[in-house]
Amino acid sequence: MKTKLHLLYGGKSAEHKVSMQTAKAVMNAVDQSKYEVHPIYINEQGNWKKGPVLEGEVTDIKSLEFTSPETSVSPLDLSREISVGGSDNYEAEVVFPLLHGPNGEDGTVQGMLELLGLPYVGNGVLASSAGMDKVAMKALFAQAGLPQVDYVGFIRRDWEQQQEEVASNIEEKLGYPCFVKPANLGSSVGISKCKNREELQVAVEEALQYDRKIIVEEGVIAREIEIGVIGNDELQCSVVGEIVPKTEFYDYKSKYEDGDTALIIPADVSVDIYQEMKEMAMRAYQTLDCSGLARVDFFLTKEGKVLINEVNTMPGFTPVSMFPLLWKHSGLEYPALINKLVELAIERHDEKMKIRYTFD
């Protein structure tokens, strides 16, 4: 019997295109003798479209954008179909959200799947929402005693009504250079490096196009090192990798368009630094109550100080993305990594089924 695997991809998010790349990669890697793959496309307006059962290789991303009226489905109707699939027809039935950014990676879809009682791959509501909101994430890291760069967070209203005060606070606390980011977005969308007040003002206006909440981080001269973590309660860490962008920083163009950013795996770090990063990664993972998978990103200063940057709860997931490459170099090939994440989803769901929801 096969496992029925529902792949959610696309999404109402600025990271829609990234999700499409992820979906194509997973579909072409998944073992169709083991899985019956059901593609579910969410377009940029947030409409859900159900495609036919996957057969063969996907060669064109456009073919995953189901547009005919008969493909339209509501999440509620779809949930009835998924939950009715049942163990009588399949060995297991699992949802795999391949969604990046808001309306998918931020706990919204995870909350829906929790209410429906469906097994799903990856992080739950808390980890997804806290991992998406960089201001909340950093507050939790501070509480856990994890060293990180200084930062300032504010909302649109603060900027519109107290721009001088906000800018002066950033300059006093962080100085230049600093990095302006939408708090609730990934894939380096809307990120700018600022060297003066004029650039700061332009950067904030740019970031506010993508989110109402902004985070500004202190600029540090450091290497960018990343590590992969998988597991629920028992965690495994990959080797570490280093990002060496040819641009000033690792922006969206460097990640997805130029293709000339160097990914060095394994990164050249000492055994002691690796061990420190591994311990910090697991502590960050547990602090956010992560499950399934996460990529944990660090800064390594020239003085040898390790600073946590962020936890990405749905990292880039194509075969040439950092997270799968880290695991490939750790002995877990891409198809095997997908299998492992599905197994972890079922494991976590089975544990939840032991929880009592009545009190007598």
Taken in order of first residue, the domains within the chain and their CATH numbers are 3-120 (3.40.50.20), 150-218 (3.30.1490.20), 222-350 (3.30.470.20)
The pLDDT assigned to 245 comes to: 81
Region at 41 (left for phi over 0; alpha for psi -120 to 50; beta for the rest): beta
pLDDT digits over 104-123, tens only? 999 999 999 998 888 999 99
Does residue 259 register a pLDDT over 70? Answer: no
The terminus-to-terminus CA distance of the chain in angstroms comes to: 39
So what's the pLDDT on residue 130? 96
In 3D space, the residue among 340, 187, 322 whose CA is nearest the CA of residue 262 turns out to be 322
**pLDDT in the model for residue 207:** 95
- Report, as an integer, the average pLDDT of 196-224: 95
- Rounded mean pLDDT of the chain? 91
Residue 52 reports pLDDT greater than 90: yes
Burial letters 137-152, b for 16+ CB under 10 A, else e: bbebbeeeebebbebb
Phi, psi of 194 (to 5 degrees): -120, 135
Residue 164: the pLDDT is: 97
Tokens of 61: 């991303």
10 Å CB burial of residue 338 (0-12, 13-18, 19+) is buried
**Residue of higher predicted confidence among 230 and 259:** 230
Compute the radius of gyration of the chain from its Cα atoms. Answer: 21
Mean local confidence (pLDDT), 332-341: 96
Maximal C-alpha separation, the chain: 64
pLDDT of residue 250: 47
* pLDDT in the model for residue 78: 73
Separation CA 28–CA 357 (nearest Å): 40
Q: State the alpha helices, DSSP H only, in the chain.
A: 16-29, 75-89, 108-116, 125-132, 134-143, 156-161, 163-173, 197-207, 252-253, 271-287, 322-328, 334-352
Please say if the pLDDT value at position 251 is more than 90: no
Tens digit of pLDDT for each residue in 119-178?
A: 999 999 999 999 999 999 999 999 999 999 999 999 999 999 999 999 999 999 999 999
CA–CA separation, 34 and 23 (whole Å): 18
Contact 175, 211 (CB under 8 A): no
Q: Rounded to an integer, what distance in angstroms lies between the CA atom of residue 358 and that of residue 335? A: 40
- Tell if the pTM clears 0.85, that is, is over it: yes
pLDDT, residue 88, reads 64
- pLDDT value at 38 more than 80: yes
